[in-house]
Structure formats: C-alpha cells, structure tokens
Amino acid sequence: MFHIPTISAVFISLWCTTQALAAPEIENLANVDETQLSIEDFSNAEAMPLPSVTKEELAKMKSEFRMRNPDIPDQTSNQPQEDVPSLPGTLKKINAPWTDPPYWSAGRLNFINDKGKPRWCTAQFVAENVILTAAHCVFNRDKRVWYSNFVFMRASSEGDSPQKVQLRCISIYKTYYDPMLNYAYDYAFILTTDEDDRPPLMMETGTPASKTVTAIGYPQDPDRGRFMYRVKGSWLKVEGGIATMDNNPLKKGSSGGAWFTGFKAGSLEHDKNRVISLNSHRVENQSQTNGPLFTEDTVQLKKHVDEAKCLN
C-alpha cells in the first residue's frame, strides 16, 4: 500500500539529491506589477488552456527528469478497486468556497498574458504568504517572458472574493523550459503582499496515500470560471516525475488547481486535504490529466519563495 512519506523521510530514504547534477536553477520575477485589473478585465478574461503534448514529447520530458533524478522511481497504483470513487469524473460546484477547507485557500488567479489579454488560472495558498499554481500560468516558455498584473481572488464565486491578494514576486525552475519544455517542473510559487485569511493548505511530496484523488479548479465550462468545481478521480501512475490522474474533466481555466489526497471537505485534520500535485497538461487524444510529482526540489523552491528570496 502506498503512503505519503514525510518531507524528512523523503529526503533521507527516497529522494536524496543526486550527486551527478546540481539543484535546478531558479528563475525569479521580482517587483510584480501591482496595477489593478478592472472589473471589465475580470469579466472579459478568457481561460488559460490546459496544454497538451504528444506521446513523444512527454517521453522526452520523463527521460530528462530521470536523468536529473535517478533515485526517484516510477510507481503504479496498486490500491484495491473498492477505493475507486463511486462517481468518478463528476463535477461538483462549490457555491460558497469561503466557508470550508480546503476550498477557502484556493481561488482564481487573474493576469495579463504577453499579448496584453486578460486570462485566468487556478491557484491556492500553501503557506501564509505563498501561493502555488502552474508555471505555465505565470510564464510564456516559448517567448521566455513573464505574464503581468496578477491578482489572486481567494475563494472567488461569481466574481466576488472575500480577499483579493496582490503579488510581490514569483519563482519557477529554469528546468521547466530549458533545455526543453518539461511539465515535471510545471509549478510556480508566488510571494503575496497579504497573508491567507484562513489556515493555508499543506503540501506533501510523493505519491498519494490512496487511489482516490480530488482535484479543484475554475473551469471555462460550464460557467466561464465564475465558480470553483471539484472532481474525484484516481491516480494511475508516476513516470519520470509526472503523475497521471484518471477521470478528471477539469480543463481550460483549471490549470494550477490542486490535487488532494485524503480529501475531506471541512476538515483541518493533519492527514487530510494534502496537496500532492496540480492540473498541468494532457497527452493528445487521451482523457487522463497529468501533473508534476512534488519532490524535495519542489519543497526547496517553496522555501526559497517563503523566505522572500525571489525578491533578490
């Protein structure tokens, strides 16, 4: 039976940093543009597409990750079938996300892309002043430029939010786009000007504790990102630093939305609602959704931002 190791156990037993390669290089965006988006910008925003890749491209990404991380094994889920959710892939609207964990720490991340167009993704607090989202929601890897005018609307519902948060700086790993695009590193951490109004979510490295995985997001469909949705699916495998989730229909606008293990709405128990990945991409002509495996490198990038080093 798979289980979630603690960060210390991960570091000691499974994911000791390889001696062959140095830690990934960090890219920072400091002094984020704090220009407020208008109500018109929010209403006219379009959902950030969930990227898709070919099987060949994904195989290259996995190979690159394995070269950098030879001690991180591939794994497949061997949980019993009774652990599979009874209604997999069914979207549930969260009408009042500010009332319950883990919804209250998640929200809609609005920004302006490199073409000057308003877009949105999904993100969530994972520390008092740190937000987690997908790297492709903050950085154009083709042009190698950052997006701008970020505003995080915590627990957004129908355009209203109990807390609108401005950003100070953002960090990603250069291995996300150099020497090639690699969605095994498709995560970004953001330092905010304000603290989470509620207890932030906890992250966990490694594979889920159970086969059931719950994902959240602000999808384009069915109502143009006005509401948060959740879906229960199951994780299938981890290969080359990329986890695969089945029965997850969240697409455009849901990029960056968390994957939870031990999901329990309304619970603040230590072993519940642990964030283990996020909505990242799909493979062309396949229905499964992929997300990056969180490793000790992920922990170190979060620490870098939490200590405000992204301002340097």
- pLDDT given for residue 10 in this prediction: 37
Classify each residue of 280-289 as buried b or exposed e, where b means 16 or more C-beta atoms within 10 Å of its C-beta: bbbbeeeeeb
- pLDDT given for residue 210 in this prediction: 83
- Phi, psi for 99 (deg, rounded to 5): -90, -25
Q: Is 212 exposed, middle or buried (0-12, 13-18, 19+ CB in 10 A)?
A: buried
- pLDDT given for residue 32 in this prediction: 76
Say whether 7 sits in a helix, a strand or coil.
helix
Question: What average pLDDT score do residues 306-312 get?
Answer: 95
User: pLDDT by residue (tens digit) across 96-146?
Assistant: 999 999 999 999 999 999 999 999 999 999 999 999 999 999 999 999 999
User: pLDDT by residue (tens digit) across 155-172?
Assistant: 999 989 999 998 999 999
Q: How far apart are CA 156 and CA 154, in angstroms?
A: 5
Spans of all domains in the chain:
7-311
Q: How far apart are CA 49 and CA 47, in angstroms?
A: 6
**Mean per-residue pLDDT over the chain, rounded:** 89
Residue 42 confidence class, pLDDT cut points 50, 70, 90: confident
Q: How far apart are CA 68 and CA 19, in angstroms?
A: 10
User: pLDDT by residue (tens digit) across 268-292?
Assistant: 998 999 999 999 999 998 889 999 9
User: pLDDT by residue (tens digit) across 225-263?
Assistant: 999 999 999 999 999 999 999 999 999 999 999 999 999
Residue 84 confidence class, pLDDT cut points 50, 70, 90: low
> How many angstroms separate the Cα of 40 from the Cα of each of 55, 112, 160?
39, 13, 14
Q: Is the CATH number of domain 7-311 3.10.28.10?
A: no
Q: How far apart are CA 126 and CA 15, in angstroms?
A: 21
Say yes or no to pLDDT of 149 above 50. Answer: yes
- pLDDT given for residue 87 in this prediction: 66
pTM value?
0.91
> How is residue 74 written in tokens?
């591939």
